[in-house]
A and B are shown apart, each in its own frame.
Chain A
Amino acid sequence: MSANNASDLPGVSDRLAYNAMRNWKERLIETVLLAAAAISVLTTLGIVYVLVSESFHFFQNVSIIDFLTDTQWTPLFDDAHFGIMVLISGTLVSSGVALLLAIPMGTIIAIYLSEFANPKVREVAKPILELLGGIPTIVFGYFALLVVTPILQFFLPSLPGFSLLSAGLVMGIMIVPYIASLSEDAMRAVPMSMREGAFAMGSTKLYTAVHVVVPAAISGLAASYILGISRAVGETMILAVAAGMQPNLTWNPMEPAATITSYIVQVALGDLPHGSIGYQTIFAAGLTLLLITLVFNILGQWLRAKYREAY
């Protein structure tokens, strides 16, 4: 109290005035730091605001029923159709291909590194995996289109130049490091005593890994898979480069197709006027994408809460 009034009082030492200044400065700094932390909340609000407000204009012109059930996506033609299923199918097929590769491979690498490899191999392999995770996706896109597609065409002559298959496979390779690294962390966190218990009962290493360590680490594994799914669904450049950009309602990975993300890129590359319906479609597509990732994340959190085991 006295510190606050110190400066008004005559004859009070400068030191109290200095303290008052100091308290005021502390308060100010705390407020500035809080403001910086609040930027993250503002970002979320900004994302929701932009996507919802532009999509709102979009849905004034296009009914939600059409949006969800139409089987054509031709927003820039005169005869415009807005069936988001067309883009969702491309997203799901490419993500499916990627995850079919990435989840088994990532899990095997994680089990190997955590349960079988000697510490030296692990010390070297983990940083290299992290490096692999840092490679820009546009480089993977180049790789998918100009290296992987020709190799696949050698085995599957009917594969077109753009396909969900080659984009999906490269996307899988891109996701492997995330899954391997996170799953390995989760399995290493399982206490040694559990493994020792299993070994004492005569289990082999593999049996211990599969029947003791993996169940104990399952919530961490689920979290890594969910991250992998989010990456796959939101991946853009590999698909924009290697999967072709024409909308195509298909469940066949051998065909080219547009995804939600590659459609946004395609529109952004062109020159659509601000406020036109074509401009609004990318926000409706973005909102759909965000909702899909949100659903997977909520599912992941629910799974984690359900199967979480604490030691």
Chain B
Amino acid sequence: MKPLTTEQIRAVIAKGKFRDNLFKAIGVFCLAFALLVIVALIADMLLKGAERFTLDFFLNFASRRATQAGILSAWVGSLLVMLVTALAAVPLGVAAGLYLEEYAKRNWITNIIEINVTNLAAVPSIVYGLLALGIFVYMFGFGQSILSAGLTLALLILPIIIVATREAIRAIPAMIREGSMAVGATRWQTCHYHIIPYAMPGILTGVIIGLARAIGETAPIITIGALTFIAFLPPVPFSEIDGGGSAGLFDWVMSPFTVMPIQIFNWTSRPDPAFEVNAAAAGFVLMVMVLSMNAVAIYLRYKMRKNIKW
């Protein structure tokens, strides 16, 4: 092979640099495009929904007249469902993560559980809806209630919380456990006084990300048969109810309900453009809820990475 002349070598280098820069430009363009989509999404909802951002919108029930319709039953429903979800998923997820990291022996039971957690994360959310329809709604007889929805979403976000808990626990060095056990603590005492508190920020991050995912989930809740038009709130504990007597402490969990995403779906699928405005406004409220939860989680993780040095 003939050696290249200086000019030829320069040409090769220039070509390489040009390709590098071209790719860099494509990369920046793709990234900018993805970011632009979020900005467009938020701006569109904010501008289109702007006229609905009044107190009435948050305090009114759904209505046939677009301008009088509000999201009261939807946001109350979302909060109550999230309450049930958090109460079920957080203890279960943390306990499962703790077991897998601190207690589990390397045997086939542990293997099955681990493979399961990984695979459950890939199951489409609507399949959880079908599970809940068969088990919670009909077999357990919970009906189309806040309880069914909360438990469904709890199962859905369980893998997220388990994985976050395990990662947080794994980051704690072995010397912490050894130190605790050296002064006579049992395994549970070690977990209770050391492992869980130190893993808390990581667990919290996982819990927030999980709940942010759950609050935006629509498909499984539609599948269990949540109603799209609800013009009442679940009974407040100990309040008077219409038929006489007073509501029990937990009556609200069995109440029919609607949630934010279902309200948006309902308004989006109506042909009347007046409801598009409502959908935009409610969508913006939901986005603010979800994005602020995620932002808190990302901030927590960032803080954590900076502060903890073992």
Binding site for B on A (CB under 8 A): 22, 25-26, 29-30, 32-34, 36-41, 43-44, 46-47, 49-51, 53-54, 105, 108-109, 111-113, 116-117, 125, 127-132, 134-143, 145-147, 173, 176-177, 180, 204-207, 209, 227, 230, 233-237, 240-241, 261, 264-265, 268-269, 274, 282-283, 286, 289-290, 293, 297
Question: Which residues on A sit within 8 Å (CB–CB) of B286?
Answer: 136, 138-139
B27 with A136: CB separation less than 8 A: no
**A218 to B222 CA separation, bound complex (whole angstroms):** 38
* 8 Å CB contact of A230 from B93, B103, B124, B279: B124
Query: Which single residue of chain B is at the shortest CB-CB distance from A35?
Result: B95
Q: A47-B123, A146-B276 are in contact. Are A109 and B113 (CB under 8 A)?
A: no
In the assembled complex, how far is the CB of residue A207 from the closest CB belonging to chain B, in whole angstroms? Answer: 7
Whether the pair A236, B124 counts as a contact (CB closer than 8 A) is yes
- Total residues of chain B contacting the partner, CB 8 A: 87
**Within the complex, which residue of B19, B228, B276 is in contact with A204, where a contact is CB–CB below 8 Å?**
B19
Residues of A within 8 A of B130 (CB): 47, 50-51, 264, 282-283, 286
Main SS class of interface, B: helix
CA distance A130 to B212 in the complex (A): 12
Q: Which 9 A-B pairs have the closest CB atoms?
A: A234-B124, A136-B216, A112-B27, A50-B134, A36-B95, A204-B16, A33-B99, A236-B219, A37-B96
The answer, yes or no, to whether B162 is at the interface (CB within 8 Å) is: yes
**Interface majority SS on A: helix, strand, loop or mixed?**
helix
Residue B204 at the chain A interface, CB threshold 8 Å: no
Contact B34–A177 (Cβ < 8 Å):
yes
- CB–CB B27/A117 < 8 A: yes
A contact residues around B217 at 8 Å (CB)? 136
Report the Cα distance A235→B162, complex, angstroms.
23
B127 close to chain A: CB less than 8 A: yes
A241 and B44 contact, CB distance less than 8 A: no
Measured CA separation A123–B103 after assembly (Å): 36
- Decide yes or no whether B251 CB sits under 8 A from chain A: no
Contact B28 A269 (CB under 8 A): no
Q: How far is the CA of A25 from the CA of B100 in the complex (A)?
A: 19
- List chain B residues, Cβ under 8 A from A47: 123, 127-128, 130-131
